[in-house]
Amino acid sequence: MIKPRTPPGVMELLPREQIAFQRMLDTVRRNYERFGFLPVETPVFELSEVLLTKSGGETERQVYFAQSTGALEKGGEGLPEMALRFDLTVPLARYVAEHEHELAFPFRRFQIQRVYRGERAQRGRFREFYQCDIDVIGKDELSVRFDAEIIAVIHSVFSELGIGAFTVQFNNRKLMRGFFEAQGVVDAEQQALVLREVDKLDKRGADYVRETLTGEGFNLPAEGVAKILEFVEVRSKSHDDALSILDKLVAQHANASLVEGANELREVLTLVKALGVPEGAYCLNLSIARGLDYYTGTVYETQLDDYPQIGSICSGGRYENLASHYTKSKLPGVGISIGMTRLFWQLREAGLISGIDESSVQAMVALMDEARMADSLDIARRLRAGGINTEVQMEPKKIGKQFQYASRAGIRFVVLCGDDEAARGVVAVKDLVREQQFEVKRDELASTLKVELEQARALAGR
């Protein structure tokens, strides 16, 4: 007999945890839709030649290939025809290039789907995981104003998720490149390499970055590296402080790239305030670089204030040309991604998931006696029509066992109707949360339970 076990690197949840996870996905989707983003789904696998155009290196070593048994039997040289998507950005690039003439630009899309990577098996890292992405794609150009709107979306999503205080931290790659240029790092390729090392600050520390940048391969002067490390330590303390930081940088290093990046950040800051995002929820963080080379302007990372060890819970940025491998059209864009599987796992480990004890079933109609089966089904039908998710016990059992079942399943209300209740036109309701029992008129049952549930949500802040 084969031992049942899940493969490493997947998150498989019990029903009530799955309900809590699904509620988080629903919250993200609801907020994306609220800001006018349109849903897109792409196939779980893409043609290998399409998927691997921009990867190479580490990414290509993490790709899962998909091959039918028939193709395996035929053999053949080269890579398999299909590969599982490793993110949602490459499929988006293919999608926009393929449907370019059918889409309205700027194209605002959200996508919530699983992706697959051959990650090394370790705690909290997943080979199959949900990503929740939004992107705004322009044709030929895209205003930096959309960069500000992205921050408002992030704030809306995490405010409604209710997982604690958070800060959206952002920066601009042009500003960073301009500052590096002022320190003598002029070559674009070397700037990209320096950016990649700076992005390791949180994980490796300042000493590691200093040794790397002054050591073999970079050989940057110690004075210049010291200025770079001082630069990336800068964090704004308020909206006005962020503007003051930008003014000082422009006054000290007035090269074209730095000035352009500073001007873009000023506009983002002005619009973020106009969008109603509280000052305490965002800040300028000059260490935010994002390791991926295709980011060209604004870059974002979001952290929980009380749990910085969790790392970034939402990240992304601006890129100049999304689909250059698939079309001659210039398609600039800006977007962010939430790795929801890893985030849920981390929040659960930290005890920050609310409602994990609740079932999506809100009421259960007990079966007191075989003769009352039809009556129980009628009560359940009325509850469902009134908007209450309801289960019916299909076989009569001792009432204690029925209560025990409801409690273990996380069902709050148990509805009972025996001969006495039926004769009086009422039902008895056992509230397993409050450990109270009350009677209510049969015709008022659904509305009464609805009020109870709404009150519970209000008290829980949901």
- pTM (predicted TM-score): 0.90
What is the spatial distance between Cα 299 and Cα 268, in angstroms, rounded to a whole number?
Answer: 11
Q: 220-252: per-residue pLDDT in tens?
A: 888 888 888 898 889 999 999 999 999 999 998
Q: How far is CA 440 from CA 199, 415, 429, 436, 446, in A?
A: 61, 10, 8, 13, 10
Higher pLDDT, 64 or 122: 64
pLDDT for 69: 80
* ω into 106 cis (within 30 of 0): yes
DSSP alpha helices (H): ranges in 5-163?
15-34, 48-51, 57-61, 69-74, 89-98, 145-161
Domain annotation covers residue 8 = no
Domain annotation covers residue 389 = yes
Report the CATH number at residue 180: 3.30.930.10
For residue 55, is pLDDT > 60? no
- Please, how many CA atoms are within 13 Å of residue 151, restricted to the half-sphere of its CB? 33
What is the spatial distance between Cα 212 and Cα 243, in angstroms, rounded to a whole number?
Answer: 31
| pLDDT band per the 50, 70, 90 thresholds, residue 121 | confident
pLDDT for 291: 64
Cβ-contact 153, 237 below 8 angstroms: no
| pLDDT band per the 50, 70, 90 thresholds, residue 194 | confident
Question: What total of structural domains would you count in the chain?
Answer: 2
**Across 15-19, 145-149, 273-277, least confident range:** 15-19
Q: Mean of the pLDDT values across residues 424-453?
A: 95
Vertex 315: Cα angle to 173 and 27 (nearest 5): 150
pLDDT for 461: 63
Residues 341 and 244 in one domain: yes
| pLDDT band per the 50, 70, 90 thresholds, residue 132 | very high
Domain annotation covers residue 4 = no
Residues 392 and 290 in one domain: no
Residues 88 and 149 in one domain: yes
Residues 111 and 56 in one domain: yes
Query: What is the pLDDT of the chain when averaged over all its residues?
Result: 91
Residues 234 and 372 in one domain: no
Residues 139 and 223 in one domain: yes
Cβ-contact 267, 175 below 8 angstroms: no
What is the spatial distance between Cα 324 and Cα 84, in angstroms, rounded to a whole number?
Answer: 21
Residues 390 and 274 in one domain: no
Higher pLDDT, 180 or 70: 180
Q: Mean of the pLDDT values across residues 139-155?
A: 97
Domain annotation covers residue 5 = no
CA-wise closest residue to 413 among 395, 399, 392, 433: 433
For residue 54, is pLDDT > 70? no
Domain annotation covers residue 311 = yes
For residue 193, is pLDDT > 50? yes
Task: Please provide the DSSP assignment of 115-145 as one string.
Answer: EE--PPP-TT--SEEEEEEEEEE-BSB--TH
Q: Mean of the pLDDT values across residues 170-188?
A: 89
Residues 50 and 184 in one domain: yes
pLDDT for 110: 98
Domain annotation covers residue 135 = yes
Domain end marker among 349, 374, 405:
349
What is the spatial distance between Cα 367 and Cα 417, in angstroms, rounded to a whole number?
Answer: 8
Residues 100 and 213 in one domain: yes
Q: Mean of the pLDDT values across residues 86-91?
A: 93
Higher pLDDT, 158 or 76: 158
For residue 56, is pLDDT > 60? no
Domain annotation covers residue 2 = no
Residues 276 and 414 in one domain: no
Residues 295 and 230 in one domain: yes
Q: 6-24: per-residue pLDDT in tens?
A: 998 999 999 999 999 999 9
- DSSP character for 462? -
Q: Are strands 314-319 and 295-304 parallel, antiparallel or unpaired?
A: antiparallel
What is the spatial distance between Cα 209 and Cα 220, in angstroms, rounded to a whole number?
Answer: 12
Q: Which domain holds residue 92?
A: 15-349
For residue 57, is pLDDT > 60? no
Q: Mean of the pLDDT values across residues 84-110?
A: 96
Report the CATH number at residue 368: 3.40.50.800
Vertex 162: Cα angle to 117 and 412 (nearest 5): 100
| Residue 363 dihedral angles phi and psi, to the nearest 5° | -145, 150
CA-wise closest residue to 11 among 133, 85, 140, 119: 119
Higher pLDDT, 177 or 267: 267
**Across 118-127, 230-239, 436-445, least confident range:** 118-127
Residues 289 and 420 in one domain: no
| pLDDT band per the 50, 70, 90 thresholds, residue 292 | low
pLDDT for 108: 98
pLDDT for 302: 96
Calculate what percentage of the chain has a pLDDT beyond 90: 69
Domain end marker among 300, 318, 349:
349
Domain annotation covers residue 354 = no
| pLDDT band per the 50, 70, 90 thresholds, residue 462 | low
Q: How far is CA 147 from CA 28, 109, 286, 311, 340, in A?
A: 19, 15, 17, 22, 22
| pLDDT band per the 50, 70, 90 thresholds, residue 76 | low
Q: Mean of the pLDDT values across residues 104-114?
A: 98
Domain end marker among 349, 384, 401:
349
